[in-house]
Amino acid sequence: MSNHEDIYHRRKVVVVGESRVGKSCLTATLARSWFPIPYYLTADLAEVQNVQTEVDGKLVKLELLDIRPDKDYDRVRPLVYPKTSVILICFSLDDPKSFQMVTERWHTEVLHFCSTPRVPLLLVGCKLDTRDTRLFNSFPPSSNGKDFITEQQGTDLAARIGALAYMECSMLHPEKVKELLDTVARIAVSWNPQIPTQQRRECRVL
């Protein structure tokens, strides 16, 4: 057995959030390092992407499940949550309604189905490039018809819902994608849902 096989870790990551916030593009980019330009709807309850990465000397295989938010799936979506190592709650930085739904819908659902044991959460603000474009062009808030969520608002919300971290991401900024991938892998390795709670190491975001 090779050294890589000795340190091999397979983990499940669930990605939730409203429609059109950038979840599908995010998971595809994390898995393939490319940006799928057309918007597409996932066909089933979950669109699955697989990514292999190395963090802190450990080889990690992440199974990314992009969960459909449609109301029609509310009754079956709980089937996806068991044995999850990390949950990403996503919203779009150019969509305040999706930010509001983090607490009104997604955090409530996650707490209900993943509270025992409580699964580590990351709050992710997607479409960072849309806010950067407004700042670059010196647009005042709402001058282009949109309000943008600030980094401080995201940080504050992450603290309120007990997320391990708040991260902002854009598929147009590879360094942000890599930072998110490393963080997810690091947390996933430290949280194995297959072992008893008392034996798990404390999750840390470095």
pLDDT digits (tens, 9 = 90+) for 165-206: 999 998 888 899 999 999 999 999 988 766 655 444 444 454
Mean pLDDT for the chain? 83
**Structural domains of the chain, ranges and CATH numbers in brackets:** 3-199 (3.40.50.300)
Q: Does 23 or 192 have the greater pLDDT score?
A: 23
CA distance 18 to 57: 35
**What is the tens place of the pLDDT at every residue in 119-159?**
999 999 999 988 876 554 555 554 444 689 999 999 999 99
pTM of the prediction?
0.83
Dihedral of CA atoms 102, 104, 105, 108 in degrees, nearest 10, equals: 90
Residue 206's CB: how many other CB atoms inside 10 A?
6
Query: Coil, strand, or helix at residue 40?
Result: coil
* Helix, strand, coil distribution of the chain in percent, nearest 5: 40, 25, 35
CA distance 180 to 178: 5
Q: Which residues are bridge partners to 115 per DSSP?
A: 118
